[in-house]
Structure formats: structure tokens, C-alpha cells
């Protein structure tokens, strides 16, 4: 039977769809972001910036809906047997990941306005700029955007390593991997 909502041992199908689609999108955002960082100005770069902005607003929208689902509708799996230290660290990393994936798109939007560009939510709805163009502040905002993205990359690398540690090294004895996996394979 398909479990749409979470159970004691699973986050549920809806949360898994949010989790894995967001993971894919973030790989894309970081890959395009790092490429932009190393690219000379060109029509190709402008094209990449366009897709980067589109997917960045998609990340933001998905995270908002995911958090509404998580805290207003879903039930959460239990962290039985895990040590308090494990629980605290994983909750802290999850919290910081959420903070960054909310703040980076907002900051990217403000940065785009400082650079004189427009931002369309999901490529459709124009967000009215709340800040004037400013070519002095723009390079500083770009630096903040870059270093926040690097921090996000560091944190989600840590998160992936922890997930792989559970899956491969300790054979998922606490069922942490299984909670977010689509297939309930034996590990
Ligand atoms: C979680 C989502 C995002 C990540 C991880 C991310 C990451 C990055 C990174 C690493 C760069 C390269 C910065 C540099 O050149 O030093 C970049 C560039 C850029 N980002 Fe984002 N970004 C995200 C969301 C957004 C959003 C939502 C917008 C605006 C709607 C945006 C607008 C831009 C623009 C315009 C640039 C190019 C700036 C330039 O080269 O002049 N980003 N992004
Ligand atoms: C290949 C990449 C990834 C793998 C293998 C992975 C693996 C996992 C696993 C196994 C869990 C369950 C942990 C638990 O129940 O305590 C989980 C939960 C979670 N993951 Fe990931 N993850 C990946 C990418 C990401 C990314 C990029 C983010 C960034 C937002 C993220 C954010 C979260 C959050 C916030 C949770 C807690 C559950 C929730 O709030 O929905 N993950 N991840």
C-alpha cells in the first residue's frame, strides 16, 4: 500500500517526493552557480543566469510547500534508538539546510534587483522590486550569494555523508535511510 503520509518508520511518499526533487534541483543550482562564478560575461552566461533564476525560485516555492506539508499535515517517523547526540546533530543540520534554502533564493532575488534585473516567480509572476539598482552594493551581494551557496554545499555534503554512513557502513541499523528511500530494500 502506498503511504502518502508519514508513519512510524517512513516520511511518507509526499515528503520523499519533495526531498528528492529538491535534492536534484539543488545539485543543478550549485552546478550552474559555480559555473557562473567562473564564466566570463557572454550571451551564454545570460542564458544560464535565466535558468538559474527560474530554478532558484522553484527551489524556494518547493521548500515553502514542503515545510507547510511537514509541519501542518504530515506525521513524522520516530527517532527510536538513536542517541541524543545523533538526534541533535541531525536536527540541527536539517534546520540549517532549511534556513539556507529559504534565505539564498531571497538573497539572490535582492541581489538581482541590485544588479538592475527582474525576477519572475516560476518564470511567470513578476516580483515587484523593493530595492533600487545599486552597482556598488551588487558585487558585495554577489560575494554573500557565493559564500552562502558554498556553506550550503558544505552542509549538504555532510548530510549526504551521514546518510551514506547509515546506509553503507552501519547497514541502516536505525532505519534512517529506509525512512527516506523509495524502495524498502534489505540493506
Ligand atoms: C538555493 C538556490 C541558489 C543557489 C545554491 C545559488 C548559487 C549561486 C552561485 C554559487 C552563484 C555564483 C556567484 C558568483 O558568481 O560569485 C550564483 C549566481 C547567481 N545567482 Fe544564484 N543561487 C540560488 C538561487 C538564486 C535565485 C533564486 C536567484 C534570483 C532569482 C539567483 C540569482 C543569481 C544571479 C543573477 C547570479 C549571477 C550573478 C552574476 O554572475 O552576475 N540565484 N548563484
Ligand atoms: C543525494 C543527496 C541526499 C541524500 C542521500 C539524502 C538522504 C537523506 C536521508 C536518508 C534522510 C532521512 C534522515 C532522517 O530521517 O533523519 C534525509 C532527510 C532529510 N534531508 Fe536529505 N539527502 C540528500 C539531499 C538533501 C538535500 C540537498 C537537502 C537540502 C535541503 C536535504 C534535506 C533533508 C532534510 C531537511 C531532511 C529531514 C526530513 C525532512 O525535513 O523532510 N537532503 N535525507
Provide block-wise average pLDDT over 10 residues at a time, the chain (187 residues): 89 97 97 96 96 98 98 91 91 97 98 97 96 96 98 97 96 93 69
Query: Considering the domain boundaries, does residue 6 fall inside one?
Result: no
Tell me the pTM. Answer: 0.94
Query: Considering the domain boundaries, does residue 76 fall inside one?
Result: yes
What is residue 80's predicted lDDT score, i.e. its pLDDT? 78
Question: The domain containing residue 102 runs over which residues?
Answer: 13-177
Query: Considering the domain boundaries, does residue 4 fall inside one?
Result: no
The response to whether residue 179 sits with its C-beta less than 6 Å from ligand 1 reads no
Cα–ligand 1 centroid distance for 38 (angstroms)? 12
* Whether 59 contacts 79, CB under 8 Å: no
Query: Considering the domain boundaries, does residue 185 fall inside one?
Result: no
Query: Considering the domain boundaries, does residue 161 fall inside one?
Result: yes
Query: Considering the domain boundaries, does residue 187 fall inside one?
Result: no
User: How far does Cα 31 stand from its chain's mean position?
Assistant: 13
Q: Which is nearest to 37 in space by CA: 122, 158, 148, 159?
A: 148
What is residue 164's predicted lDDT score, i.e. its pLDDT? 97
Number of H helices, E strands in the chain: 5, 2
What is residue 81's predicted lDDT score, i.e. its pLDDT? 84
d(C-alpha 118, C-alpha 135), whole Å: 15
* Whether 14 contacts 69, CB under 8 Å: yes
The enclosing domain of 20 has a CATH number of 1.20.950
The secondary element (H helix, E strand) that includes residue 125 is: strand 125-126
3-class secondary structure, 57: helix
| Torsion angles phi and psi, residue 127, rounded to 5 | -85, 120
- The preferred substitution site among 23, 40, 112, 145 for testing ligand 1, maximizing ligand atoms within 8 Å of CB, is 145
Query: Considering the domain boundaries, does residue 120 fall inside one?
Result: yes
- The preferred substitution site among 30, 33, 96 for testing ligand 1, maximizing ligand atoms within 8 Å of CB, is 33
The response to whether residue 142 sits with its C-beta less than 6 Å from ligand 1 reads yes
Number of domains forming the structure of the chain: 1
What is residue 78's predicted lDDT score, i.e. its pLDDT? 86
What is residue 187's predicted lDDT score, i.e. its pLDDT? 46
Amino acid at each position: 500500500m502506498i503511504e502518502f503520509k508519514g508513519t512510524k518508520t517512513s516520511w511518507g511518499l509526499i515528503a520523499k517526493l519533495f526531498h528528492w526533487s529538491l535534492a536534484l534541483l539543488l545539485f543543478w543550482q550549485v552546478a550552474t552557480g559555480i559555473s557562473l562564478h567562473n564564466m566570463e560575461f557572454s550571451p551564454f552566461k545570460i542564458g544560464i543566469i535565466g535558468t538559474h533564476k527560474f530554478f532558484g525560485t522553484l527551489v524556494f516555492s518547493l521548500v515553502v510547500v514542503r515545510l507547510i506539508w511537514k509541519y501542518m499535515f504530515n506525521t513524522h517517523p520516530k527517532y527510536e534508538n538513536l542517541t541524543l547526540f545523533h538526534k541533535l546533530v541531525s536536527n540541527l543540520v536539517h534546520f540549517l539546510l532549511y534556513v539556507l534554502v529559504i534565505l539564498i533564493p531571497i538573497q539572490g532575488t535582492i541581489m538581482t534587483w541590485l544588479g538592475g534585473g527582474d525576477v519572475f516567480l516560476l518564470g511567470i509572476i513578476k516580483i515587484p522590486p523593493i530595492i533600487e539598482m545599486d552597482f556598488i552594493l551588487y558585487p558585495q551581494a554577489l560575494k554573500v550569494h557565493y559564500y552562502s551557496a558554498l556553506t550550503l554545499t558544505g552542509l549538504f555534503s555532510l548530510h549526504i555523508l551521514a546518510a551514506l554512513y547509515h546506509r553503507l557502513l552501519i547497514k541502516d541499523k536505525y532505519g534512517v535511510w529506509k525512512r527516506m528511500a523509495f524502495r524498502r530494500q534489505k540493506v
